[in-house]
A and B are shown apart, each in its own frame.
Chain A
Amino acid sequence: MPDAILSAQGLWKSFGGHGYWGRHVRARRPALIDASISLERGKILGVVGESGSGKTTLARCLSLLIRPDRGSVTLDGEDLTGLPIPELRRRRRRIQTVFQDPYASLNPRMRIGEAIGEVLSVHGLVPRRQIPSRVKELLDIVGITPTFGHRYPSDFSGGQRQRICIARALAAEPDVLVADEAVSSLDVSIRAQILNLLLDLRDRLGLSMVFIGHDLFVVGFVADFIAVMLGGQIIEVLPKTTNLTGAVHPYTQELLAAAPTVSESPTDVVQIREAGGVEEPPIVSCPYWQRCPIRSDERCGREYPPLRALTAGHWVASFCELSNGPMPVRHRMRISTEVTKTTFGGANP
Chain B
Amino acid sequence: MTNDEGLVVEDLRVSFGGGTVPVIRDLSLQIPAGEALGLVGESGSGKSLTARAILGLLPRGAQATGRIVLDGKSLLDLSPAARDRMRGSRIGMIFQDPMSSLNPVLRVGDAIAQVIRSHEDVDRKTAKSRTIELLQRVGLNDARRRFYAYPHQFSGGMRQRIMIAMALAANPRLLLADEPTTALDVVVQAGILRLIDGLRRSRKMSLLFVSHDLAVVSRMCDRIAVMYAGSIVEEGPTVQVLHRPRMPYTIGLLNSIPGPQSSNRLAAISGFPPQPGTLPRGCTFAPRCPMAIEACAQSAVAMVEVGSDHRARCLRTADTGKISRGETSAEPNTSVSAVSHA
Question: In the bound complex, do residue B258 and residue A195 qualify as a contact, i.e. CB atoms below 8 Å apart?
Answer: yes
Q: Does A30 sit within 8 A of B, measured CB to CB? A: no
B188 partner, pick from A50, A157, A220, beta carbons under 8 A: A50
Q: How far is the CA of A216 from the CA of B190 in the complex (A)?
A: 13
Question: In the bound complex, do residue A264 and residue B259 qualify as a contact, i.e. CB atoms below 8 Å apart?
Answer: no
Q: A188-B213, A190-B42 are in contact. Are A344 and B239 (CB under 8 A)?
A: yes
- Considering only residues 215-261 of chain B, those with a C-beta below 8 Å from chain A are 215-216, 218-223, 237-239, 242, 252-260
Which of A231-239, A266-274, A292-300, A315-323 participates in binding chain B? Answer: A266-274
0/1 string, A229-267, CB within 8 A of B gives 1:
000000000000001110000000011011111111111
Cβ–Cβ < 8 Å partners of B57 in chain A: none
Report the nearest A residue to B263, measured CB to CB: A221
Q: How far is the CA of A340 from the CA of B157 in the complex (A)?
A: 28
- Considering only residues 291-349 of chain A, those with a C-beta below 8 Å from chain B are 340, 344, 347-348
Q: Does A122 sit within 8 A of B, measured CB to CB? A: no
Number of interface residues of B (CB under 8 A): 61
- Shortest beta-carbon distance, B232 to chain A, in Å? 17
Q: A188-B253, A189-B252 are in contact. Are A214 and B326 (CB under 8 A)?
A: no
A-B contact pairs, 17 of them (CB 8 A): A188-B213, A189-B268, A192-B257, A195-B258, A217-B258, A221-B262, A221-B266, A254-B187, A255-B186, A255-B187, A262-B214, A262-B254, A263-B259, A267-B197, A270-B194, A271-B194, A347-B35
Q: Does A107 sit within 8 A of B, measured CB to CB? A: no
Q: How far is the CA of A259 from the CA of B257 in the complex (A)?
A: 12
Known: A188-B257, A189-B252. 9 other contacts (CB 8 A): A187-B212, A196-B266, A258-B189, A262-B214, A262-B242, A262-B257, A263-B242, A266-B219, A266-B222
Query: Chain A residues in contact with chain B, CB under 8 A?
Result: 50-51, 157-160, 187-193, 195-196, 199, 214-218, 220-221, 243-245, 254-255, 257-273, 275-277, 340, 344, 347-348
Q: A192-B269, A276-B140 are in contact. Are A262 and B187 (CB under 8 A)?
A: no
Q: How far is the CA of A243 from the CA of B138 in the complex (A)?
A: 35
Number of A-B contacts (CB under 8 A): 157
Question: In the bound complex, do residue B265 and residue A196 qualify as a contact, i.e. CB atoms below 8 Å apart?
Answer: yes
Q: Does B121 sit within 8 A of A, measured CB to CB? A: no
- Shortest beta-carbon distance, B140 to chain A, in Å? 7
Question: In the bound complex, do residue A261 and residue B253 qualify as a contact, i.e. CB atoms below 8 Å apart?
Answer: no
- Shortest beta-carbon distance, B60 to chain A, in Å? 20
Q: Does B282 sit within 8 A of A, measured CB to CB? A: no
Cβ–Cβ < 8 Å partners of B255 in chain A: 192
- Shortest beta-carbon distance, A134 to chain B, in Å? 25
Q: How far is the CA of A268 from the CA of B44 in the complex (A)?
A: 29
Which of B140, B213, B327 has the most chain A CB atoms closer than 10 A to its own CB?
B213
Question: In the bound complex, do residue B259 and residue A262 qualify as a contact, i.e. CB atoms below 8 Å apart?
Answer: yes
Cβ–Cβ < 8 Å partners of B44 in chain A: 157
Q: How far is the CA of A173 from the CA of B216 in the complex (A)?
A: 38
- Shortest beta-carbon distance, A150 to chain B, in Å? 20
Q: Does B69 sit within 8 A of A, measured CB to CB? A: no
0/1 string, B260-283, CB within 8 A of A gives 1:
101011111110100000000000
Q: A157-B272, A192-B266, A269-B197 are in contact. Are A261 and B260 (CB under 8 A)?
A: yes
Cβ–Cβ < 8 Å partners of B256 in chain A: 188-189, 191-192
Cβ–Cβ < 8 Å partners of B237 in chain A: 344, 347-348
Q: How far is the CA of A276 from the CA of B142 in the complex (A)?
A: 9
Nearest 4 interchain pairs by C-beta:
A275-B139, A221-B258, A192-B256, A192-B268
- Considering only residues 157-176 of chain B, those with a C-beta below 8 Å from chain A are 157-158, 161
B221 partner, pick from A199, A216, A258, A266, beta carbons under 8 A: A266
Question: In the bound complex, do residue B258 and residue A277 qualify as a contact, i.e. CB atoms below 8 Å apart?
Answer: no
A277 partner, pick from B157, B194, B308, beta carbons under 8 A: B157
Q: How far is the CA of A310 from the CA of B211 in the complex (A)?
A: 40
Q: How far is the CA of A106 from the CA of B255 in the complex (A)?
A: 30
Question: In the bound complex, do residue B194 and residue A269 qualify as a contact, i.e. CB atoms below 8 Å apart?
Answer: yes
Q: Does B191 sit within 8 A of A, measured CB to CB? A: yes
- Shortest beta-carbon distance, B181 to chain A, in Å? 10
- Shortest beta-carbon distance, B166 to chain A, in Å? 17
- Considering only residues 102-146 of chain B, those with a C-beta below 8 Å from chain A are 138-141
Cβ–Cβ < 8 Å partners of B188 in chain A: 50, 277
Cβ–Cβ < 8 Å partners of A266 in chain B: 218-222, 238-239
Q: A158-B43, A196-B268, A258-B186 are in contact. Are A264 and B218 (CB under 8 A)?
A: yes
